[in-house]
Amino acid sequence: MTQDKKTYHHGDLRQSLLQAATQIIRDGGVDALSMRKLADNVGVSRTAPYHHFKDKNELLCAIAEAGFADHIRAVSELPQQHPDLEPRLLFELYVLGYIRFADANPETYDLMFGKEIWKLGQPTESLKGISKCCFQHWLEWIETLQDAGILTDKHPTLRVAQASWATLHGLCRLLNDGIYVNREDLEEMGKTAAAMLLAQAGT
Amino acid sequence: MTQDKKTYHHGDLRQSLLQAATQIIRDGGVDALSMRKLADNVGVSRTAPYHHFKDKNELLCAIAEAGFADHIRAVSELPQQHPDLEPRLLFELYVLGYIRFADANPETYDLMFGKEIWKLGQPTESLKGISKCCFQHWLEWIETLQDAGILTDKHPTLRVAQASWATLHGLCRLLNDGIYVNREDLEEMGKTAAAMLLAQAGT
DNA sequence: CGATCAATCTTGACACCGTCAAGTTATTAC
DNA sequence: GTAATAACTTGACGGTGTCAAGATTGATCG
């Protein structure tokens, strides 16, 4: 637990806190993270973290923010890695990528898109910013797919983006929240969902 | 708070607890519910509830269970109320009904389909039962729609059911968790989602 | 270099929480 | 009427987030 203390001033406590918190959350879920345990974990007193984060909510926001950064990076790389792939397959790839991210980082995903921050807490301005940016990416891509004729353009881009995102999000939630869905079925479900969303190409 | 106490034995404490708990949750969310406040609320000591529910988890399960009962009842009524409606429109109606339920009872919905019980806690056997039954209904209906040719039969019924359910669930979560979605857009989003899921009729 | 100031970290305290153990009271079964 | 049992009580333990006030240190300026 308590690391050997050397100096009164820690040095880069903020960074250490974020790192330790991320680890704790990865191991035992968001609920396993308490400010006190966290402080003890980095070898500092209970209330020391409050000099770097206004409250627990702000800490969680910071972690979520890092999650968005990861997510955006992963997504941006996709089209570059597969430059000549048919849009339909690229879409499926994206869907699978999204789901895999949620599966690999369930707790981070929970923070990014869960009520803990967005409903019960208060998202930081910078968190709002990066998440908005993330959705913007999605929106633009949906528009591209509409233009390419593989997603319906009978409905506004915003609605199509919301509805398709909801599908991905729903899959991830069902999985991560432990409701019915088995992990082994994940890929297949993702493919089915992708197919159902795309299927109206001809319409 | 504390009601006037008449007898040592309350009489039907279990029922009173459920009722009060439901109210508290409706008012202030699941997090507003504490065993202590609940007990105080019905005029009984802190630990009295533990003679009727093993722990908080069991209480929540009981509430969720009631939610499923309501939900199933509402859904079952639908086809009867609109006996001669075209299946496509009936599907849209179902989608809207599902979303409206989640919108009208956000906290109950959260309990029914949230990680609080299914991942962090332990669903009661009877809760598992009724939720399974609920999904079974959905599954059967999806099959009907596949047979009627308005939902794809290129994928197994189970997968189509999961994918379409995920879409509804995702919409509800985005709404209830306070992520991006505006309540005013709800109906329109539901319709878009329904349309996208159904659109492959011709395929 | 020395004094000051602000940042950083500490201990103490408060009001909550879930729930276990042991004791009290009322109801039921014989 | 007595014994058993179910319902309910108080007391206690260890946990939580975070506020207030004090201690320590590094940085800044004369």
The reply to whether the CB atom of residue B111 sits less than 7 A from any atom in nucleic acid chain D is no
Q: Is the pLDDT of residue B140 over 80?
A: yes
Contacts of A171 in chain B (CB under 8 A): 162-163, 166, 170
Q: Given A162, A167, A202, which is nearest B166 (Cβ)?
A: A167
Q: Report how far residue A14's alpha carbon sits from residue A93's, in angstroms, rounded to the nearest whole number.
A: 36
Question: Residue A24: its pLDDT value, please?
Answer: 97
List chain D nucleotides near protein: any atom < 7 Å from a Cβ. Answer: 6-12, 15-21, 24-26
Q: What is the mean pLDDT of residues A32-52?
A: 96
Q: Does A180 touch chain B (CB under 8 A)?
A: yes
Range from A159-173, B71-85, B172-186 that averages highest in pLDDT? A159-173
Residues contacting residue B86 through CB under 8 Å, at least 6 positions apart: none
Q: What is the mean pLDDT of residues A113-134?
A: 96
Protein residue with the closest CA to the C1' atom of nucleotide C9: A48
The reply to whether the CB atom of residue A12 sits less than 7 A from any atom in nucleic acid chain D is no
Which token pair is B85? 């409606």
User: Would you kindly state where each structural domain of chain A is located, as residue ranges?
Assistant: 1-53, 56-202
Mean pLDDT of chain A: 91
Mean pLDDT of chain B: 91
Q: Does A45 touch chain B (CB under 8 A)?
A: no
Tell me whether the CATH fold assigned to A1-53 matches the one assigned to A56-202: no
Provide the pLDDT confidence category of residue B182 given band limits of 50, 70 and 90: confident
Question: Residue B180: its pLDDT value, please?
Answer: 76
Q: If one looks up domain B63-202 in CATH, what number appears?
A: 1.10.357.10
Provide the pLDDT confidence category of residue B203 given band limits of 50, 70 and 90: very low
Contacts of A149 in chain B (CB under 8 A): none
Q: Given A119, A164, A178, which is nearest B115 (Cβ)?
A: A178
Q: If one looks up domain A1-53 in CATH, what number appears?
A: 1.10.10.60
Question: Residue B142: its pLDDT value, please?
Answer: 94
Percentage of chain A exceeding pLDDT 70: 93
Size of interface A-B (CB pairs under 8 A): 139
pLDDT tens figures, A82-115: 988 888 898 999 899 999 999 999 999 999 999 9
Find which of B142, B162, B175, B184 to mutate to test the A interface (most A CBs within 10 Å of its CB). Answer: B162
Least confident of A59-68, A79-88, B104-113: A79-88
Question: Residue B133: its pLDDT value, please?
Answer: 94
Q: Does B78 touch chain A (CB under 8 A)?
A: no
Q: Is the pLDDT of residue A21 over 60?
A: yes
pLDDT tens figures, A155-179: 999 999 999 999 999 999 999 999 9
Contact A166 B171 (CB under 8 A): yes
Q: Does A154 touch chain B (CB under 8 A)?
A: yes
Question: Residue B199: its pLDDT value, please?
Answer: 67
Q: Cα(first)–Cα(last) distance of chain B, in Å?
A: 61
Find which of B31, B110, B175, B196 to mutate to test the A interface (most A CBs within 10 Å of its CB). Answer: B196
Question: Residue B79: its pLDDT value, please?
Answer: 83
Q: Does B196 touch chain A (CB under 8 A)?
A: yes
Question: Residue A28: its pLDDT value, please?
Answer: 94
Q: Cα(first)–Cα(last) distance of chain A, in Å?
A: 61
For domain A56-202, the CATH superfamily is Tetracycline Repressor, domain 2 (1.10.357.10)
Give the distance, in angstroms, between residue B47 CA and nucleotide D2 C1'.
29
Contacts 24+ apart (CB under 8 A), B171-174: B171/A162, B171/A163, B171/A166, B171/A170, B171/B99, B172/B98, B172/B99, B172/B102, B172/B103, B172/B109, B172/B113, B173/A166, B173/A169, B173/A170, B173/A173, B174/A162, B174/A165, B174/A166, B174/A169
Question: Residue A178: its pLDDT value, please?
Answer: 92
DSSP annotation string for B12-55: SHHHHHHHHHHHHHHHH-GGG--HHHHHHHTT--TTGGGGTSSS
Contact A174 B162 (CB under 8 A): yes
